Amino acid sequence: MSVEAILKTKGSNVFTIRPEHSVADAAALMSAKKVGVAVVCDAKGTVVGVVSERDIVSGITQFGKGVVDMPVRNIMTSPVLTCGPGDSVKRIMEIMTERRIRHLPVVDGGDLLGMVSIGDAVNFRLREAQMETAVLRDIAVTR
């Protein structure tokens, strides 16, 4: 099953921020939306970076408390590794594990189609396993 199946369930809305906005703005967005990452897009809507809770923690260590007034571009990860809608859920789990990242923007032909997180992938695999168990139980009952 592919990333597209996850997006069908959770939708394609992505919370984004501009690179010139402050780290405090990014923190406020993540807090308000209850997410761990914001995708950084330029004025044309092109993905230019990613800023996660972990980048803010690292930023505080590197720059001190004043990091909150710095622009997001100073602490974001760039360039950004992304995934495509046709990638398998297994593949994105491998990428997240190998690269130690918990979020991947979904991009196709330069268009930002959605966001998948480690929790989305776990939830998807959990529901798949539950469905498999239910099917096996039905087979056992009807025999």
Ligand X SMILES: NC(=O)C1=CN([C@@H]2O[C@H](COP(=O)(O)OP(=O)(O)OC[C@H]3O[C@@H](n4cnc5c(N)ncnc54)[C@H](O)[C@@H]3O)[C@@H](O)[C@H]2O)C=CC1
Ligand Y SMILES: O=c1[nH]c(=O)c2[nH+]cn([C@@H]3O[C@H](COP(=O)(O)O)[C@@H](O)[C@H]3O)c2[nH]1
Q: Where does this chain bind ligand X (CB under 6 A)?
A: 10, 13-15, 35-39, 102-103, 115-120, 122-123
Is there binding between residue 77 and ligand Y (CB under 6 A)? yes
Shortest distance, CB of residue 84 to ligand Y, whole angstroms? 12
Q: Judged by CB, which is closer to ligand Y: 104, or 112?
A: 104
Is there binding between residue 37 and ligand Y (CB under 6 A)? yes
Is there binding between residue 36 and ligand Y (CB under 6 A)? yes
104 is in the binding site of which of ligand Y, ligand X, none (Cβ under 5 to 8 A by kind)?
ligand Y
Q: Judged by CB, which is closer to ligand X: 127, or 136?
A: 127
CA atoms within 13 A on the CB side of 139: 6
Is there binding between residue 72 and ligand Y (CB under 6 A)? no
- Whole-number Cα distances in Å, 45 to 20, 88, 115, 118, 122: 14, 26, 15, 24, 29
Shortest distance, CB of residue 90 to ligand X, whole angstroms? 17
- DSSP secondary structure, 42-101, as one string: -TT--EEEEEEHHHHHHHHHHH-GGGGGSBGGGTSB-S---B-TTSBHHHHHHHHHHHT-
Which of 85, 105, 121, 124 is the binder for ligand Y (CB under 6 A)?
105
Pairing of strands 16-17, 37-41: parallel
Which SS3 state, helix, strand or coil, does residue 32 take?
helix
Residues making contact with ligand Y (CB under 6 A): 36-37, 50, 52-55, 77, 80-81, 101-105
